[in-house]
Amino acid sequence: MKIQHRIAFHFTYQLILYSLLIVAITLIACIMFFMSMRNNELQRNFPVGALQMISQEAYSKDGTIRISPEWDKFIEEKGMWMQIVSAEGEVIYGVNTTSHQPLPSSYSIAELLDIQETRLLGTYTVYTQMSFSFNEPLMYLLGYQSPDLDQLVAWFDAYGQQGMVRSEEVPHLEQRLGEIGSYLQVIDSAGHTLQGIGNESYLQKGYRPLDILAIHQSPGNYDTNIVAHRDEQTGMSWVLYTPNPQGGPLKHPVMDSATRGLLWFSGVILLSALPLSIWHGYRYGQPLILFAGWFGRMRRGQYDQILTAKDMRKVFRRNGTLRFRYRLYKEVIESFYQLTHQLAQTEKERERLEKAQAEWMSGISHDLRTPLATIQGYGYMLESLPEQWSHEEMRIMGSTIREKGDYMLELISDFSLIHQLKQGESIIELREMDLDEMVRCSVLKYVNDATTSEYQFHYVGDEQPLMVQADETWLQRLMDNLLSNAVRHNPPGTVITVSIGRLNDKACIRVIDNGKGMDEETLHHLFNRYYRGTNTEESTTGSGLGMSIAKSIVEAHGGEIQVQSKLWRGTKIEILLPC
């Protein structure tokens, strides 16, 4: 997989994972939020809210009404009891009924109406809830004993007279009310307060009639419990106010729960984002720090030290594979290795070229200095005492000066020529020509040259004309360089054989001699500019650029040149040109 695809895939699946994580956290937060709302509403509206939830969550199994076992446990823990009454008045389901006073197994319409109106069944306070979730109406009864109501009834029986608290009992009752922080209010049938005994701070709260009913129905919303007892004979009502430590001031439950839920959700997201941010910074920052150190070493030219020993342990396992956090940058690391290898090779090549250039310039300077010294010496001699020299001596001096000048001109010409060839200038003009005829003429020129009569030349041509696209002038220069080198660097009596033919759809020229050959070092540097070899005894005539020019001419024609040689076993030069 390419790095761009892998990076795209990497960040895509991370985005998906993070999205799923956020969705999961959101769902959990929502569930917790709704559970908190549910529990809050249950607490604030208890027991009415509990009875409503029970009626909503009831279900039918095998024709029998059932409620959740958690509700059974909850009712038992609260010391309450519950009954479900059918349309016929029969009790079809009960919870915790055996631990209380005997409860009816069926109810008449009069009993049900009385319970719904008075919210009392004997000594129990009873809340009712009608449900129409099934095919017939059902009534849910939830009852419990109220200690405050029992205490109020007991005080009414002990201290009451014609619906009022007897005057001689007021101090005693006030003391008892003060001990528990309560307040007793006696109200007539018209709603006027006739007596008030106990902690009068309850009067400052200014409870209105509907507030009293709301507290009575949903005590969890208030910090006060209220129970009432009405005397049927006198029409008087005794109302007892007691503190409710589990209650609180009335608040908007939805907004309160939503605010807390959002705060919790934001906190969870922030706490989750912190380690993820640290992990992301470490995961993507470590490779960048590694690459920065890499660039620094490359800037200093330390190409052989791609990674330090410490970095190697960070990037690679013991078996040589990349660690997980660096797999995303696999191609980058491989490219760095290739780049540093190429830079190291380039640096070595640059050093080699600088060394070769220095040697080449040293050789050029030496070969120019030698003929110039000769020319300068003869010039001083002719300038100081020209009348002392005979015509023959002056002729020899002039000839020597001309030869040395020709040598320098050849050296400069060859240098310019090889520079043009190496720079790729368009100096080659390709035309169709007979390669066999051109090579034969080049060999024949040396055969007929009296100065090379001590060398034996043989030519092996092709039976048919060998036509190629080439520049005849440059190929003649190529053959002159090869044949003159064979003569110049071999002793008299050397046999030089030139052959031409076809090899793998290419024109092939071979120049073979049985001379003294070359050692490995000379063969290795043969095509270097201005390299003469290691033999210091041979003549230094010539520019020393012949083989370098020969190679440049062959490559300019799209060909190849190969040389094989062994010391004292001769030399074989093979040239392949496209037909």
Rounded average pLDDT over 369-394:
84
Q: Where in 435-484 does DSSP place strands (E)?
A: 456-460, 467-470
Coil/strand/helix, residue 7: helix
Instruction: Give the CATH number for residue 195.
Output: 3.30.450
Point out which residues pair with 217 in neighbouring strands.
none
The residue-averaged pLDDT of 168-187 equals: 88
Query: For position 534, what pLDDT does the model report?
Result: 41
Q: Kindly state the tokens that stand for 462.
A: 């092709």
Q: Does residue 345 come out as left (phi exceeding 0), alpha (psi in the -120 to 50 range) or beta?
A: alpha
Q: Is 262 a residue whose pLDDT tops 50? A: yes
Does any domain span residue 3? Answer: no
Same domain flag for 291 and 392: no
302 phi and psi, to 5 degrees? -90, 70
Region 354-383: mean pLDDT is: 81
The whole-angstrom separation of Cα 457 and Cα 494 is 9
Domain membership of residue 405 as a residue range = 334-427
Last-in-domain residue among 333, 356, 384: 333
Cβ–Cβ < 8 Å for 496, 506: no
- The C-alpha atoms of residue 523 and residue 128 are separated, in whole angstroms, by 115
Q: Which residue among 119, 145, 171 closes a domain?
A: 145
User: pLDDT-derived band of residue 205, with 50, 70 and 90 as boundaries?
Assistant: low
Do 305 and 328 lie in a common domain?
Answer: yes
- Residue 96, domain member (yes or no): yes
Can you tell me the mean pLDDT for 508-537?
A: 79
Both 159 and 200 in one domain: the answer is: yes
Per-residue pLDDT averaged across 542-547, rounded? Answer: 68
Encoding tokens for residue 32?
Answer: 């917790």
- Average pLDDT rounded to a whole number, residues 543-553: 80
403 burial class (0-12, 13-18, 19+ CB within 10 angstroms)?
middle
Q: What global pTM score does this model have?
A: 0.41
Checking if the pLDDT of 530 tops 60, the result is no
End-to-end CA distance of the chain: 44
The CATH number of whichever domain residue 348 belongs to comes to 1.10.287.130
Residues of the chain with pLDDT > 70, as a percent, come to: 84
pLDDT-derived band of residue 250, with 50, 70 and 90 as boundaries? very low
Q: Is the pLDDT of residue 319 over 60?
A: yes
Please indicate, yes or no, whether residues 306 and 237 belong to a single structural domain of this protein.
Answer: no
Confidence label for 446 from pLDDT (cuts 50, 70 and 90): very high
Least confident of 26-35, 501-510, 533-542: 533-542
Confidence of residue 203 (pLDDT cuts 50, 70, 90): low
- Angle between helical axes of 48-57 and 69-77 (0-180°, round to 10): 160
Q: Are residues 444 and 496 in the same domain?
A: yes
Q: Residue 508, Cβ neighbours under 10 Å: how many?
A: 18
Residue 28 lies in a domain: no
- 47 prior amide bond cis, ω within 30: yes
Cα distances (angstroms) measured from residue 309 to each of 305, 313, 314, 332, 413: 9, 6, 9, 19, 55
Same domain, 389 and 448: no
Q: What is the pLDDT of residue 541?
A: 52
Give yes or no for residue 545 having a pLDDT over 50: yes
Residue type, 226: I
Contact 345, 353 (CB under 8 A): no
Is residue 509, in this structure, part of any structural domain at all? yes
Are 443 and 572 part of one and the same domain?
A: yes
**Do residues 537 and 453 both lie within one domain?**
yes
Does the pLDDT at position 32 exceed 60? yes
Is 7's pLDDT higher than 80? no
- How much is the pLDDT for 71? 87
Higher-pLDDT residue of 370, 534: 370
Window from 146-160, 449-463, 497-511, 559-573 with minimum mean pLDDT: 146-160
**CB 120 within 8 Å of CB 145:** no
Type of residue numbered 73: K
**Total domains, the chain:** 5
What percent of the chain is modeled with pLDDT above 90?
23
Within a domain: residue 325?
Answer: yes
Pair 560, 530 in one domain: yes
Is-contact 91 105, C-beta < 8 A?
A: yes
pLDDT of 537 > 50? The answer is no
Give pLDDT, residue 563: 96
Mean pLDDT of the chain: 81
d(CA 220, CA 31): 23
Strands (E), 157-314: 160-161, 164-165, 183-187, 193-198, 224-230, 237-243
Please name every residue paired with 505 in a beta bridge, in sequence order, or none if there are none: none
Q: Which residue has the tokens 């307060």?
A: 193
Across the range 311-328, mean pLDDT stands at 78
Report which of residues 350 and 223 the model is more confident about: 350
Q: How many CA atoms lie within 13 A of 343 on its CB side?
A: 17
Tens digits of residue pLDDT in 79-100 = 889 999 999 999 999 999 887 7
Mean pLDDT of 222-231: 79
3-state secondary structure of 255: helix
Same domain, 559 and 474: yes
**Of the residues 286, 316, 333, the one at which a domain ends:** 333
Q: Is residue 364 part of a domain?
A: yes
